[in-house]
């Protein structure tokens, strides 16, 4: 076998989550009252935009969650294959050039020279103290003076290519529509361009164009240049920014996976059963809320750190170590953040348990369990959904803050927090190295903005008071 699949814990959980989401989608599609709010999410322009941006991130994150160890070159006649100790992902394989084209140290975006001067031997044998040429960046150019021309022509080519791609998608869409709805292709094309559909298709195509332009440009430019420069050890910053996506997504989604069962079970139990159950749960979350979250997280992470240092034999690769720490961070974040949702769910359950349909159900002889899952839980789900989507962006930001403080993810794991952490020193040096921070900022900003917009639209769609106002 040319590779050995590696199942990291977070990978398993991510794909489990994906399966749950897929099941939920199938479930929702069959129920008109659940489908309606989702439809209205897509029908709004902001919803369409945020979903498209988020799905780009999700695709990168998922590709980065398929890990394996490549087989080493078989040297000679040994029958068993050996695998590399380094765990790489499918995304790493796709971005191989980015990953392997490592310079010596810092270089600015689109630079052809290093950012620091070095002693070097000129062709005539004289020693020169100057900025050396990069090993990979712009190395295809004989004359660096043509760099601007080269970049411009690449951008033009990439833009034309992406325009072509979008047009192909558009034509396929029209053909598909003709098959489904009838009418000529021209009629269907007119329908889309005039915005006659119930979905914001013009926004869709504009967004599709923007995304393809960005993607194709990045792909074509990064083949020859370091688009976001390189960091201290010469690694491409664009690659780092893209790798950070998985870390951010894992923190944002797995934490909710940990938090949800706690919050839902505790919240419903407190609200529905009242009495001592309510008292106990209220005391638990009041106590937990009074402990400073960062303190608890720092303590837990440090304990784990000590444990991992004492038991190195349990972790085969560095990736597994880093992954364990990431998972642990998710768990501890989940444990500290369920209280807010729990409170909301408790209050709502208190209201629902007195609802007349619950009373009617009780008078029909329904058991507590069937009331909980038929009447209470479905009427809480919109709150859960809103909380999850709203929490997501907060958690992504929390990861950055925690890693900056030093209690976040493993230092060997690429994440926005770690990028910012290392940028601390870069900002202090002269001349300043600004691109690392900028790349982290831009990629994080786009994700969080899209998530917030999405949360906004979802909240509107599920808010009964907003039903008429749209």
Partner 1 sequence: MTDTLLQVKGLKTWFGDGDNPARAVDGIGFSIRRGETFALLGESGCGKSITALSLLRLNPHPASRIVAGEVLLNGQNLLPLSEAEMEKIRGRRVSMIFQEPQSSLNPVLSVGQQIAEVLNWHFNTDKQGTYERSIELLKSVGIPDPHQRIKEYPHQLSGGMKQRVMIAIALAGEPELLIADEPTTALDVTIQAQILDLLKDIQQKTGMAIMLITHDLGVVAQMADHVAVMYAGQIVETASRRQFFNDTQHPYTRKLFEALPSEQKREEKLTVIKGSVPPLNQPFNCCRFSDRCDFAWQHCHDVAPRWLESEGHGVRCHLYDPEVSAERVKPELAVTSSRLSEVVPADKALLKADRLKVHFPIKKGILQRVVGHVKAVDGISLDLRPAETLALVGESGCGKTTVGKGILQLVPVTSGEVSFRGKALTRLPERELKEVRSAMQIIFQDPFSSMNPRMTITQVIEEGMLTSSIKAPADRARKVDELLQRVGLRPDIKYRYPHEFSGGQRQRICIARALAAEPEVIICDEPTSALDVSVQAQILNLLRDIQHEFGLSYLFITHNIAVVDYLAHRVAVMYLGRVVEEGLRDEVLNSPKHPYTQALLSAVPKIDSETRQESVKLEGELPSPANPPKGCHFHQRCPHVMPICRETYPDLTQLSRSHTVKCYLYEDNYGSTDSN
Question: Least separation, in Å, of the C-beta of 41 and partner 1?
Answer: 18
Looking up tokens 């106990």 gives: 280
Residues 344, 387 contacting (CB under 8 angstroms)? yes
Q: What separation in angstroms does the CA of 61 have from each of 139, 210, 382, 428?
A: 30, 20, 26, 32
Most distant pair of Cα atoms in the chain: their distance: 99
Residues 190-249 that bind partner 1 (CB under 8 A): none
Residue placing its CB nearer to partner 1 in the complex, 125 or 365 = 365
Task: Give the Cα separation of 96 and 289 in Å (integer).
Answer: 45
Residue placing its CB nearer to partner 1 in the complex, 352 or 458 = 352
Where does this chain touch partner 1 (CB under 8 A) — which range of 27-35, 50-58, 254-262, 341-349? 27-35
Q: Which residues of 157-174 are buried (b: 16+ CB within 10 A; e: fewer)?
A: ebbebbeebbeeebeebb
Query: Which element (helix H / strand E) includes 120?
Result: strand 118-121
Cβ neighbours of residue 137 under 8 Å, at least 6 residues apart?
Answer: 101, 103, 107, 110, 111, 112, 224, 225, 226, 230
Residues 378-407 that bind partner 1 (CB under 8 A): 378-379
Strand order in the sheet with 67-70: 3-6, 67-70, 88-89
Query: Residue 103's CB: how many other CB atoms inside 10 A?
Result: 22
Is 366 among the residues that bind partner 1 (CB under 8 A)?
yes
Residue placing its CB nearer to partner 1 in the complex, 86 or 279 = 279
Residue placing its CB nearer to partner 1 in the complex, 176 or 357 = 357
Question: Least separation, in Å, of the C-beta of 363 and partner 1?
Answer: 5
Task: Give the Cα separation of 337 and 260 in Å (integer).
Answer: 10
Question: Least separation, in Å, of the C-beta of 370 and partner 1?
Answer: 8
Residue placing its CB nearer to partner 1 in the complex, 226 or 353 = 353
Question: Least separation, in Å, of the C-beta of 340 and partner 1?
Answer: 24
Chain centroid to Cα 207, Å, comes to: 19
Task: Give the Cα separation of 343 and 228 in Å (integer).
Answer: 44
Where does this chain touch partner 1 (CB under 8 A) — which range of 28-36, 57-65, 192-200, 255-263? 28-36
Task: Give the Cα separation of 256 and 250 in Å (integer).
Answer: 10
Residue placing its CB nearer to partner 1 in the complex, 309 or 363 = 363
Is 362 among the residues that bind partner 1 (CB under 8 A)?
yes
Residue placing its CB nearer to partner 1 in the complex, 435 or 462 = 462
Is 364 among the residues that bind partner 1 (CB under 8 A)?
yes
Query: Which element (helix H / strand E) includes 129?
Result: strand 127-130
Per-residue string for binding with partner 1, 319-358, x by CB under 8 A? ------------------------------------xxx-
Question: Least separation, in Å, of the C-beta of 325 and partner 1?
Answer: 41
Residue placing its CB nearer to partner 1 in the complex, 173 or 362 = 362
Residue placing its CB nearer to partner 1 in the complex, 46 or 362 = 362
Is 24 among the residues that bind partner 1 (CB under 8 A)?
no
Beta-carbon-side half-sphere exposure of residue 92 (alpha carbons within 13 Å) = 14
Q: Binding residue for partner 1 (CB under 8 A) from 150, 375, 384, 388?
A: 375
Q: Which of 94, 89, 84 is nearest to 66 (CA)?
A: 89
Q: Binding residue for partner 1 (CB under 8 A) from 26, 75, 363, 465?
A: 363
Question: Least separation, in Å, of the C-beta of 39 and partner 1?
Answer: 15
Residue placing its CB nearer to partner 1 in the complex, 273 or 434 = 273
Where does this chain touch partner 1 (CB under 8 A) — which range of 31-39, 108-116, 214-222, 321-329? 31-39
Residues 404, 422 contacting (CB under 8 angstroms)? no
Residues 225, 216 contacting (CB under 8 angstroms)? no
Is 32 among the residues that bind partner 1 (CB under 8 A)?
yes
Give me the torsion for CA of 94, 228, 450, 88, rounded to 10°: 30
Task: Give the Cα separation of 469 and 274 in Å (integer).
Answer: 36
Residue placing its CB nearer to partner 1 in the complex, 197 or 361 = 361
Number of chain residues interacting with partner 1 (CB under 8 A): 20
Question: Least separation, in Å, of the C-beta of 357 and partner 1?
Answer: 5
Q: Which of 329, 450, 328 is nearest to 389 (CA)?
A: 450
Q: Binding residue for partner 1 (CB under 8 A) from 22, 168, 171, 359?
A: 359
Per CB under 8 A, residues contacting partner 1 are: 32-34, 355-357, 359-367, 370, 374-375, 378-379
């Amino acid at each position: 076998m040319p590779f050995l699949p590696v199942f990291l814990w977070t990978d398993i959980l991510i794909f489990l989550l994906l399966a749950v989401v897929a099941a939920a989608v199938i479930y929702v599609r069959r129920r008109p009252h659940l489908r309606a709010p989702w439809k209205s999410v897509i029908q709004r322009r902001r919803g369409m935009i945020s979903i498209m941006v988020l799905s780009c991130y999700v695709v990168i994150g998922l590709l980065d969650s398929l890990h394996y160890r490549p087989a080493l070159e078989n040297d000679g006649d040994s029958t068993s294959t050996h695998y590399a100790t380094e765990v790489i992902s499918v995304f790493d394989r796709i971005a191989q050039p980015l990953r392997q084209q490592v310079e010596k140290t810092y270089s600015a975006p689109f630079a052809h020279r290093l950012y620091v001067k070095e002693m070097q031997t000129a062709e005539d044998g004289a020693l020169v103290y100057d900025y050396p040429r990069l090993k990979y960046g712009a190395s295809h150019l004989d004359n660096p003076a043509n760099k601007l021309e080269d970049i411009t022509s690449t951008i033009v080519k990439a833009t034309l290519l992406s325009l072509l791609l979008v047009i192909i998608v558009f034509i396929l869409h029209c053909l598909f529509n003709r098959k489904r709805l009838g009418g000529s292709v021209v009629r269907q094309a007119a329908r889309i361009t005039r915005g006659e559909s119930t979905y914001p298709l013009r926004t869709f195509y504009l967004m599709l164009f923007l995304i393809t332009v960005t993607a194709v440009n990045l792909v074509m430019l990064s083949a020859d240049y370091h688009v976001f420069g390189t960091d201290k050890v010469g690694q491409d910053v664009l690659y780092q920014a893209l790798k950070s996506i998985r870390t951010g997504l894992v923190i944002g989604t797995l934490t909710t996976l940990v938090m949800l069962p706690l919050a839902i079970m505790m919240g419903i139990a407190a609200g529905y059963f009242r009495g001592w159950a309510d008292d106990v749960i209220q005391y638990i979350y009041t106590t937990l809320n009074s402990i400073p979250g960062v303190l608890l997280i720092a303590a837990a992470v440090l304990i784990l750190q000590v444990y991992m240092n004492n038991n190195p034999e349990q972790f085969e690769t560095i990736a597994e170590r880093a992954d364990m720490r990431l998972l642990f961070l998710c768990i501890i974040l989940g444990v500290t953040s369920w209280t807010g949702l729990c409170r909301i769910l408790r209050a709502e359950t208190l209201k629902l348990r007195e609802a007349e349909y619950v009373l009617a159900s009780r008078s029909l002889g329904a058991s507590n369990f069937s009331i909980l899952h038929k009447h209470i839980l479905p009427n809480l789900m919109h709150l859960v959904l809103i909380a999850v989507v709203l929490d997501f962006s907060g958690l992504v930001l929390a990861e950055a803050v925690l890693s900056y403080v030093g209690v976040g993810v493993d230092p060997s794991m690429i994440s926005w927090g770690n990028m910012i952490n290392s940028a601390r020193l870069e900002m202090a040096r002269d001349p300043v190295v600004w691109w690392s921070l900028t790349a982290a900022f831009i990629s994080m900003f786009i994700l969080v903005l899209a998530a917030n917009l999405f949360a906004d639209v979802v909240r509107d769609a599920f808010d009964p008071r907003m039903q008429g106002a749209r």
